[in-house]
Every structure is written in structure tokens, then in C-alpha cells.
Structure 1
């Protein structure tokens, strides 16, 4: 395909609003729409209306209202807030479990002992250690980091319980994946009610992706997740669509349940479904009646599709 220079001009919020009206979008509240154009952005909102347009003419489907799009955006924003809060809860739990177990079994500086890690090529322990060093350096102004270096110079990094406050969930996911001893991996996974270590490794990666999506303001409604969590056969969890948002949120649900913090997560999602409508949840792959089975969260029913 022959490429061409980009020649589109930037438009004012008012001009963008007029353009949307010319494309058939019904706008009942110009003030709300202008505020959204100015403080949310036309390009960001476009992700919430592209499925409501004719792909060839860019005209909106008959009867499409801006308020419908705004509700779509607000529902997604609130889901993102629930995911971010829950990911923070799980991130703290993951690093606490790994840190406590390995510190007691090996030493408070277990992460400096390369013998407990299996070789992983270019993404091995050396890369993870470099990441830890960089994160601790970035956190150098924190009181507990300064307190360590005022009193000690060996080892050259603070102990695990201080280090754990600095590094990211993605780093903890990699640390778990690189542990050499299968028994270590089993003990850590079992703390979250999972006996299959390969499942827990997959789910940690899924959790990292969810957390990063929420932190970077990605959409959750009407998207596909770039990771496929492994089925948990021992608990009869078999996803119909592993790349659906529903599958990844099920991972979060099960992990939160294992540490006793799942009720607010489920309750807030259920309240959002009531407030904004089930079709938003259907577009994330949630099946009808997802909140009423014996465990409080259905995981095997085929999702219902909704064109709007």
C-alpha cells in the first residue's frame, strides 16, 4: 500500500463536536459533550464509539446518543479503578508471600544468591537483579532505604523486606518463574490456593498485565487481553475464551478469594453491572448469571454477545 504524509489538522472541541453531529451522533447535552472533548479527548472517546459507526461511511448507527457513549466510558473507568485497587491488594500479597518464604528458608538477601534461580537466558537472574538495583536506587530517598545504608555496607542492597517495597509486580512474576526448586514454587503457589505451579506462574503474568492495563488507562470493555491465563483444572476452571477480559478478571477473583479479600471486588463489579447495564459486561465476555453459581463466579459458561 502506498503511504502518504499525515495532513490532518487539529480541531477545537467545538469543531469536533460539530463533526460528530454531522456524522449522525445525537447530542442532547452540548455542555457535557464539550467538557468531554476538552478533558477526556476526542481520540480517547473514539475507542468507545467505533463499534457504533458504519465502518465505510463513519456515520453513527441510527439513534446513537452521546450519553450512551459517555456511560460506556464511565463504566470502563470505574471497572479500571476496581481492577487497579484489587491488583494493588494482590501485588502486596504476592511480594509478602515470596519475600517471607524465601527469607526464612534461605536468608534475608536470598535474591543475591544465584543458586536458587534456574538459568533463563537473556531474561535471567542478571536482568532481574539489575532491575532490583535500579528500583532501589530510584527509591533512595525513602527513610528505610536511607536507614539501611547509614548502618550497613554489606550486602550492598537492603534485605528482602525492604527491597520488596521497591520492585514491581512484573519483577515478582519473573522471580517466581525463575525459582529453581519446584518445592519452593509449590509452597508459594499453595498460599494462594493453587497446587499447579504452572497455573500460578501463568496467573501471575496475567495479573501483571491487568495491573499495567489499569495503570496506563487502557480500555477493558470491548477489548482482547494480550495474555491467555492457563485453565485451573483442579478447581474445574476452564475458560471458554482465555483472552477475554472475563477470563483475566476470573484470575483476579480466585486469587483474591484465596487471601480473603474478594467480596468488595465482586460486589463492586455486580453494582456496576446493575448501574450501567449487563451489555457492557457481555462485551468483556461475562456470561449471564456470572455472580450466582456455587462459588459466586461462573467460569465455564459460554459468553453472550451483544452488538451494541
Structure 2
């Protein structure tokens, strides 16, 4: 299929938005945002303000809606900008907490596995056979082999002075407490998924989670969240496809607020998991209070299409248990 959309100047982009019904109070400021942030990135934040029409029904006879090019009445360019700035600050605050959580998990895993063998991560026997030997249909390598290759690549590419020093003094093989510092969150999450169940339980309990499967899903979700933040992607109303599991009813009281399927698929649950983990890592932290202060200034749009924090999946009365 041939691509038929021509290049447009920033002024032409702005004119197109105005033509489609967007109000622009300060054209010079709007042009600056188009020049420095970009039409495509900002389009994710004015998308909720577009007019939606019904385009038939699905196989279950539910209406299918699709966005038109027009904006609902009273939509202003500043509405999208404020959403963008809110989302940017949200990602920055989450990145701070995710760094603390990742570092703490590195220590937890390296300390636990390193106690029995400094090079535990290099041995297949360290891991649960059924998890480590899993294969995808088109890849002859199993999970352990793919994970090993990923780790070796990260260690090889590391420019950290401590890695160079260790290799010069002790040789090429890195003990787990050194190697773990070269891994990213995804590699750490994959290692946890392969660990033997008693080891998974020990670490999960440290974070107040009794079910290791729940905790495993939380780490996978935190890695997803970290990637969203690292790539500066839209977060505030993102639909989370790979959803984290919830503990049994009553085990972690705040989790019971997310039994609704719609809230389970929205990002506020991920924010709440970060809050839980951050408090476990540092009970005296004020990070969650700072995040709450940011969430409470969710931008109110001029547009007749009302948006609110509830669109992130925040349950009613979330402030009661957040602090």
C-alpha cells in the first residue's frame, strides 16, 4: 500500500488542527510545541478529544466506534499540551521509584543465589527445570539458553569501571553480585521467572506478597512500565494488555479495589504496585506522597469531552489507602 500523506510544515500542521475544530489561543506557543515536541507525539494527547462515531457492530453485536478527524466542541490546543506535561511529569516520578526498586531487587536476588554459589546464574541446576527449559515454537533455544546469551551480551557491552577492574584482577567470569549490575530490569525479571519456587517465595514474601506467581507478574509489569517511561511513551490512559495478577481477596487490601476488569487494564494499578514496592524498599519514603500530589492536579480540559483521573483506572476513594 502506497503512503499518500504529504509532508507538512509546522504552520500547515497547525492550520489542519484549526480546520478540524481545535481552538488555538496562542498560535506562536502552539507552533513552538509542534516544533519541539512534534505533531505525532502530541496527537496521542489530543486523540481523546476527537469525535467518535459508530461504525457497525462486532461479532457479539457490540457497537464499534472509530475516531473521526474532527474535535469535540471547545477543545483547545492547550488541553493536549497540559495532558502531555502531566504525563511527562508522571513518567519522571515513576522512573525515580523504579530505579530504587530495581536496585533493591538486584541485591535481593544476588544475595539469595550467591549464598550457595558465586556463579549460580551460570548453572542450569540453579533454576526450576520446567521454567528454564521452556521453548518457543520457532526457537531451538530454551529460556535458560536465551537468557544466558542476553546476559553475556550485556556483560560484554558494559563499560563500567568495576567490570573492567574485576576482569583484570579475577578473570572473565563475573560472580552474580557483579554480573547483576550489568543487567536491565527485563533480564532481572526473566531470571526471577526461572528461579526455583522456594527462592521465588522467599523474595516475594520480603515484599509482602504470598503468591510467587503474583509477584512474578508484578515484576513483568514493572519492566513493561519501565520501558514505557524510558521511551517517553504515553502512559496516563494506556491500555495494559499484559496485566498483573492480583493476590487473593483480602491478602493485600488495596488490591481488592482493582477486581473490576476495566481497572485491571488501566495504568493506575501499575502506579499502585510501584507505591507498594517503594514502601517495602523504604518504609520512610515520601515518594508516594509526592506522586499523590501530582495525581491530584490532573489537568481539567476546556473541551466538552470531560477527562479525569478516573480515566487512568483510579478507583473511588483511592486517597484513603494511598497515604
Is the pair's TM-score, using the shorter chain for normalization, greater than 0.5? yes
C-alpha distance in structure 1 between counterparts of 2:87 and 2:269, whole Å: 17
1: CA distance between counterparts of 2:110 and 2:274?
A: 21
Residue in 2 aligned with 1:116?
A: 126
Residue 152 of structure 1, CA deviation: 2.3
Number of residue pairs aligned between Structure 1 and Structure 2: 287
Partner of 1:235: 252
Partner of 1:303: none
2 CA distance for matches of 1:263 and 1:74?
Answer: 25
The residue aligned with 1:216 is 231
**Structure 1 residue 193, shift from structure 2 partner:** 1.6
Match of residue 19 from structure 2? 22
**Counterpart in 2 of 1:301?**
none
Please state if 1:69 is matched with 2:80: yes
- Summarize the Cα distance change of 1:251–1:273 in structure 2 as closer, same or farther, 3 Å threshold: closer
Q: Secondary structure at the match of 2:286?
A: helix
Q: In structure 2, the residue corresponding to 1:276 is in which secondary structure?
A: coil
Q: Does 1:128 align with 2:150?
A: no
Deviation string 1:65-119 (CA, Å, 9 cap, x unpaired) is 1111111111111111112111111111111110111111x12211112101123
Structure 2 gaps of 5+ residues are 54-67, 136-141, 301-306
Question: Counterpart of 1:86?
Answer: 97
Paired with 1:264 and 1:213, the residues of 2 have a C-alpha distance of 23
| Cα RMSD (Å) | 1.8
> Does residue 39 of structure 2 align to residue 42 of structure 1?
yes
**What is the alpha-carbon distance in structure 1 between the residues aligned to residue 244 and residue 270 of structure 2?**
7
Paired residues for 1:161-240 under 5 Å: 161-180=177-196, 182-233=197-248, 234-236=251-253, 237-238=255-256, 239=258, 240=260
The residue that corresponds to 2:161 in the other structure is 143
Which runs of 5 or more structure 1 residues have no equivalent in the other structure?
298-308
2:316 pairs with one of 263, 288, 293: 288
Structure 1 residue 151, shift from structure 2 partner: 1.8
CA distance in 1: counterparts of 2:287 and 2:316, whole angstroms? 18
1:101 paired with 2:123, answer no
Identify which of structures 1 and 2 has the higher relative contact order when contacts are C-alpha pairs closer than 8 Å and 6+ apart.
2
Q: How much does 1:202 deviate? A: 0.8
* 1:120 shift after superposition: 3.0
**Greater per-residue strand proportion:** 2
